[in-house]
Amino acid sequence: MLVHQAFRFELDPSNATRSALSSHCGASRYAFNWGLRLVNDQLEATRKLTVLAIRQGAGVEEATTWARKVTGPVPCSLPALRRAWNATKHEVAPWWAENSKEAYSSGLDGLARALENWSKGRRGERAGHTGFPTRKKKEHRRSCRLTTGSIGVVDDRHVKLPRIGRVRTKEQATKLRELLDDGRARICSATISEEAGRWFVSFTCEVERHDVHGRLPDAVVGVDVGVKHLAVLSTGEVVENPKALGSYARRMARLSRELARRELGSKRCRRTKAKLARCHAKVANTRRDAIHELTSDLVSSYGTVVIEDLNVAGMTAAPRSKPDHAGGHGPNGRRRKAGLNRAILDASPGEVRRQLVYKLAWHGGTLVVADRFFASSKLCSSCGAVKAKLRLDERTYCCEHCGLVIDRDLNAALNLAAYGRRALSVAGSGPETRNARGGAHRRLRSDAPVKREDGTVEPDKTVTAPSQGEAA
């Protein structure tokens, strides 16, 4: 199976190489800001001419057309930005030859993508809100993408980059080198980036993968992603949550207060910023490592994984203002809700789903995503009864019908596994379900209950109304 895969290595550059890496990232940022300034100037000139024509009695549409004809088309695409850059680079950047041409192309390409996303958002062709691109600052994340030139792996401990040359890596690149030597991989691009003082290179490659299926290809496992535990499997296995943010919260708060007292631009300010950046990097690396271990273990063990379609944005939204006597959010309640939001975001349930999608595709597995309104926590995994209300602090599920007493997360995982088996039995063979490769699917009807508002279901009755499930 031919897939796009990235190989990321930390670099061990010398002082001269470090300066060259920083110069290329700076050149990319400069080209982005130059192109943005060009686009803004042309848009402002068009606006002024349009206003002038309207004041002279022209219609809005007529004035806009005339102004655009006078100023010319706005260079929003990458070819147009490149032509404008090549025509003026000797005047605006006489030092441009010090860096690879790919550095400037990288900044212009980022601007073209940002303008395209903004335009699609205005036309309603892109979900979410995408604002107009803003100027990049030197303090922001530094990166540069290289697509042509001398890009490759020299040996197990060295890579080569255009104009930068041979750079030593802190970790071995044996796996990528073997794939390149065997003809099973082809490098498409390389991205250099800086993170908390450490330099990295990421090779985006086309790789021919031949991954084996999971050890239990016919097994279905339900995975309940949570906050107390990173995940609870329907097999009873519990994956502990490293709680990376909580481990460094006090240190990050102390460094943030220290940074607020520093004079901007001073040496001590830069030193404190570097310490704070290293803390954030440690948190991200700890979280990333735990999630990769979880998802890799799942895809190498089971053929079908079932998870919930969690509305993370809704779960972490700001609390509504309610009177305290009604159980609403007073000052203490808002503080507790903020802590819950941090814990949910620290667990990164969206990242778990993202990794399961592509890793299951590599191993030929199937990812089933339960409907967002599937009552996995309130549903009894033994008799099928549904609780009308289940508080977040109730960690043990006690069924009032069959007397089942079980951990709430394990109960939810068992319900998810049953949901997946029902979805697969209804959908039949693979072509009717959406697997990790994004194949076609159809809506499934199951006899599982759905989540309802509190008080709409009597606790002594079992809900039998079907709900819509979706195998994703």
Q: What percent of the chain has pLDDT over 90?
A: 57
Confidence of residue 446 (pLDDT cuts 50, 70, 90): very low
- Inform me whether the pLDDT recorded for 436 exceeds 60: no
Cα–Cα distance, 283 to 244 (Å, whole number): 5
pLDDT in the model for residue 459: 36
Cα–Cα distance, 297 to 221 (Å, whole number): 12
- Inform me whether the pLDDT recorded for 15 exceeds 80: yes
**Which of 104-113, 347-356, 445-454 shows the lowest per-residue confidence on average (mean pLDDT)?**
445-454
Interaxial angle between packed helices 244-261 and 267-299, expressed in degrees from 0 to 180 and rounded to the nearest 10:
170
pLDDT in the model for residue 432: 37
Q: How far is CA 179 from CA 153, 170, 210, 329, 396, in A?
A: 11, 20, 12, 56, 50
pLDDT in the model for residue 126: 85
Query: Which tokens is 339 given?
Result: 């802590």
- Inform me whether the pLDDT recorded for 449 exceeds 90: no
Higher-pLDDT residue of 456 and 346 is 346
pLDDT in the model for residue 311: 86
Domain range annotation of the chain: 2-13+143-208, 20-137, 216-242+283-469
Catalytic (active site) residue 224: yes
**Which of 22-31, 32-41, 167-176, 395-404 shows the lowest per-residue confidence on average (mean pLDDT)?**
395-404
∠ CA 196-200-205, rounded to 5° = 145
User: Which positions ≥6 away from 6 have C-beta within 8 Å?
Assistant: 202, 203, 204, 205
Confidence of residue 394 (pLDDT cuts 50, 70, 90): confident
- Inform me whether the pLDDT recorded for 112 exceeds 50: yes
Q: 46: how many CB neighbours lie within 10 A of its CB?
A: 19
Q: In this structure, what are the phi and psi dihedrals at residue 349, rounded to the nearest 5 degrees?
A: -65, -30
Higher-pLDDT residue of 37 and 339 is 37
Distance of CA 337 to the CA centre of its chain: 23
- Of 194, 308, 346, 371, which one is the catalytic site residue? 308
pLDDT in the model for residue 403: 84
Mean pLDDT rounded to a whole number for the chain = 85
Tens of pLDDT, residue by residue over 413-431, are: 999 999 999 988 876 544 3
- Of 102, 109, 194, 409, which one is the catalytic site residue? 409
pLDDT in the model for residue 323: 52
Tens of pLDDT, residue by residue over 329-387, are: 566 777 888 888 888 899 999 999 999 999 999 998 999 999 888 888 888 988 888 88
- Inform me whether the pLDDT recorded for 433 exceeds 70: no
pLDDT in the model for residue 317: 86
Q: How far is CA 148 from CA 25, 151, 183, 342, 443, in A?
A: 16, 7, 19, 41, 45
pLDDT in the model for residue 463: 33
Q: Hey, which of 70-79, 107-116, 206-215 has the most confident mean pLDDT?
A: 107-116
Tens of pLDDT, residue by residue over 206-236, are: 999 888 888 888 899 999 998 989 999 999 9
Catalytic (active site) residue 371: no
- Of 194, 224, 371, 470, which one is the catalytic site residue? 224
pLDDT in the model for residue 431: 37
Strand order in the sheet with 2-10: 2-10, 198-208, 185-195, 142-146
Tens of pLDDT, residue by residue over 267-317, are: 999 999 999 999 999 999 999 999 999 999 999 999 999 999 988 888 888
Q: In this structure, what are the phi and psi dihedrals at residue 444, rounded to the nearest 5 degrees?
A: -110, 145
Predicted TM-score (pTM) of the model is 0.81
Higher-pLDDT residue of 392 and 97 is 97
